[in-house]
């Protein structure tokens, strides 16, 4: 690594912020920061002028970046993530990003990215509302864990989450859970969200069935929201309707919500919501448009990162 961060003083820096700030002007190539095990309670931000940062830790639950930032509305979330990436070519591995703000009904992202061609591998993103903000551009999440309650995977970038655990937590009393909220605004936008070969299940600390808490795969945050859940395991707590509308909008009439080749007791599409005229169970040829190589052009960049991924269906 270029820099080692350690709470105990055994590295060059004790905080991640100091390490990132040491990014040399005009640096070419990968800039790697090894963050030793510990809890780092600080706001981490990779500025646009610091491309190709690789941040890696000692593993999920060992290297923990945390904070309790929350905002009162979705627009504040651009400044409220515990960790944020604005730069091209960012990679994170073996780190937990945790927002401890709790399920009190306010957006509280643990991580956001708007740097193109960013990749997160074997990381955990822990929060309640709006945990993971795929803000802009192409981003890949592989072998990750994502925890939350409401709209906890949301954004208007091009995001593909593969081979990951999507873990639904107990919401605030009287609330329902929604896993995704895509923000694609225009029909020509390339953006959207794909969950491929993921496992979607409740956190083992509560029983959604016993508490009569409804859990939906997603709802359309913007008019042309595009969300694909494919080749994934859906546990039985997913509502038979699958998808729900965004309050006081007609986004459900124009958005695209798609499923392909899912499995598990929550995967039956027979009773999916009739509110979505564009809902579709995709054919294989259609689903092929939402793979890493098609949707993210992974062959041109992800293949160069050394991160393992499945290029196709």
Q: State the average pLDDT for the chain.
A: 95
Does 154 lie in the same domain as 107?
A: no
Q: What is the pTM of this model?
A: 0.96
Check whether residue 77 and residue 155 sit in a common domain: no
Residue 179: which of 232, 122, 101, 137 has the closest Cα?
232
- Looking at 67, 97, 112, the residue that finishes a domain is 112
- Give the model confidence (pLDDT) of 266-310 as tens digits: 999 999 999 999 999 999 999 999 999 999 999 999 999 999 999
295 and 194 within one domain = yes
pLDDT at 68: 81
Q: Is residue 236 part of a domain?
A: yes
Asked if residue 39 has pLDDT above 90, the reply is: yes
Q: Which residues are catalytic?
A: 151
The pLDDT value given to residue 228: 99
User: How is residue 66 written in tokens?
Assistant: 């945390």
Residue 121 maps to a domain: no
Dist CA 55 CA 78 (whole Å): 21
Q: Name the strand (E) or helix (H) holding 96.
A: strand 96-99
Residue 20: phi and psi, rounded to 5, are -65, -40
pLDDT of residue 79: 62
Mean pLDDT of 199-212: 89
**Pair (58, 170) in one structural domain:** no
Q: Which three-class secondary structure state does DSSP give residue 166?
A: strand
CA 201, 93, 20, 7 torsion-angle sign = positive
* pLDDT for residue 73: 56
How far apart, in whole angstroms, are the C-alpha atoms of residue 282 and residue 256? 11
Residue 293 in tokens: 């190589």
Residue 101: the pLDDT is 86
Please check whether residue 250 lies inside any domain of the structure.
yes
Same domain? 159 vs 248:
yes
What is the spatial distance between Cα 194 and Cα 294, in angstroms, rounded to a whole number?
12
Output Rg (C-alpha) for the chain, integer angstroms. Answer: 19
Q: Per-residue pLDDT for 75 more than 80?
A: no
Task: State mean pLDDT over 78-104.
Answer: 90
297 and 157 in a common domain: yes
Q: Which residues contact 153 (CB under 8 A, 6 or more apart)?
A: 131, 132, 134, 146, 159, 161, 166, 179, 180, 181, 193, 195
Least confident of 77-86, 154-163, 264-273, 288-297: 77-86
Convert the pLDDT of each residue in 40-53 to its tens digit: 999 999 999 999 99
Q: pLDDT: is 240 or 72 the higher one? A: 240
Structure tokens at 157: 């970038």
Q: 72-91 in b/e burial notation, b at 16+ Cβ within 10 A?
A: eebeebeebbbbbbbbbbbb
Q: Where in the sequence is the domain holding 7, given as residue range(s)?
A: 1-112
Query: Structural domain tally of the chain?
Result: 2
Q: CATH number for the domain including 105?
A: 2.160.20.10
């Amino acid at each position: 690594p270029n820099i080692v961060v350690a709470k105990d003083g055994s590295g060059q820096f004790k905080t991640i912020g100091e390490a990132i700030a040491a990014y040399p002007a005009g640096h070419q190539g990968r800039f790697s920061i090894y963050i030793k095990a510990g809890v780092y309670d600080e706001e981490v931000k990779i500025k646009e002028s610091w491309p190709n940062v690789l941040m890696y830790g000692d593993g999920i639950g060992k290297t923990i970046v945390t904070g309790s930032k929350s905002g009162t509305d979705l627009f504040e979330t651009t400044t409220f993530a515990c960790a944020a990436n604005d730069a091209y070519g960012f990679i994170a591995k073996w780190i937990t990003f945790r927002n401890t703000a709790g399920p009190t009904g306010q957006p509280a992202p643990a991580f956001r990215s708007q740097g193109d061609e960013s990749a997160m591998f074997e990381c955990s993103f822990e929060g309640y509302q709006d945990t993971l903000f795929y803000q802009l551009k192409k981003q890949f999440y592989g072998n990750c864990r994502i925890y939350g309650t409401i709209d906890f995977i949301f954004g208007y970038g091009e995001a593909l989450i593969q081979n990951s655990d999507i873990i639904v937590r107990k919401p605030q009393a009287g609330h329902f859970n929604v896993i995704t909220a895509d923000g694609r605004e225009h029909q020509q936008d390339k953006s959207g969200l794909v969950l491929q070969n993921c496992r979607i299940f409740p956190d083992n600390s509560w029983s959604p069935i016993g508490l009569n808490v409804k859990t939906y795969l997603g709802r359309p945050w913007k008019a042309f929201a595009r969300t694909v859940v494919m080749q994934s395991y859906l546990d039985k707590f997913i509502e038979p309707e699958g998808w729900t509308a965004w309050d006081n909008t007609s986004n459900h009439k124009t958005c695209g919500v798609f499923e392909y080749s899912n499995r598990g007791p929550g995967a039956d599409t027979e009773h999916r919501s009739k509110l979505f005229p564009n809902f579709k169970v995709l054919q294989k040829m259609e689903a092929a448009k939402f793979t890493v190589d098609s949707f993210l052009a992974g062959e041109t960049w992800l293949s160069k990162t050394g991160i393992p991924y499945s290029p196709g269906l």
